[in-house]
């Protein structure tokens, strides 16, 4: 007989190797309530060119050009998680943030992936931002 699965907070989808997947709206609610730290794991170039969430912690998983791993990621995420808050990780479409959430979990932190990412998946015309994502959902963001 299998042991019962630990109860997940409302709105959290189960995931392997990290705390779970959550909607952009739930991530923002947690941040506003002081329950979570929002970490934008996109590259500096993406945040500068596409937009960013005011108040989010910028901590790239990989850096442009070449998308090399950020050697400071582990130390940075550990510092952000030191207070024991949930970590909610955001990337362009919710793929790199999965890898970053898995790594944060390996480091002993409670990390969640934000589904849809900042821009969402591409539509039939390969355009992002029209079918989902942080911006599409009307959550706070700015562009330089």
Do residues 89 and 112 make contact, with C-beta atoms less than 8 angstroms apart? yes
Q: Residue for token digits 């024991």?
A: 84
Q: Report whether pLDDT(1) > 50.
A: no
Q: Domains in the chain, start-ordered, CATH in brackets?
A: 20-114 (3.40.250.10)
Please write the tens of the pLDDT for every residue from 51-82.
999 999 999 999 888 889 999 999 999 999 99
Instruction: Please state the pTM of the whole predicted model.
Output: 0.91
Beta strand 36-40 with 86-90: parallel, antiparallel or unpaired? Answer: parallel
Average pLDDT over residues 112-141: 93
Give the pLDDT band (50/70/90) at residue 2: very low
Average pLDDT, the chain: 92
Q: Which has the closest alpha carbon to 36: 141, 117, 111?
A: 111
Q: H/E element holding 86?
A: strand 86-90
Please write the tens of the pLDDT for every residue from 9-52.
788 999 999 999 999 999 999 999 999 999 999 999 999 999 99
């Amino acid at each position: 007989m299998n042991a019962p699965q630990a109860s997940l907070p409302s709105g959290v989808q189960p995931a392997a190797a990290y705390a779970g997947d959550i909607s952009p709206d739930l991530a923002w609610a947690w941040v506003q309530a002081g329950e979570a730290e929002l970490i934008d794991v996109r590259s500096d170039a993406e945040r500068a060119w596409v937009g960013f969430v005011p108040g989010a912690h910028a901590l790239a998983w990989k850096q442009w050009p070449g998308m090399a791993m950020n050697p400071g990621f582990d130390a940075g995420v550990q510092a952000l998680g030191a207070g024991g808050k949930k970590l909610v990780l955001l990337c362009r479409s919710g793929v790199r943030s999965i890898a970053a959430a898995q790594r944060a979990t390996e480091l002993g932190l409670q990390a969640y992936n934000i589904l849809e990412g900042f821009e969402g998946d591409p539509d039939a015309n390969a355009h992002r931002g029209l079918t989902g994502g942080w911006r599409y959902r009307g959550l706070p963001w700015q562009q330089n």
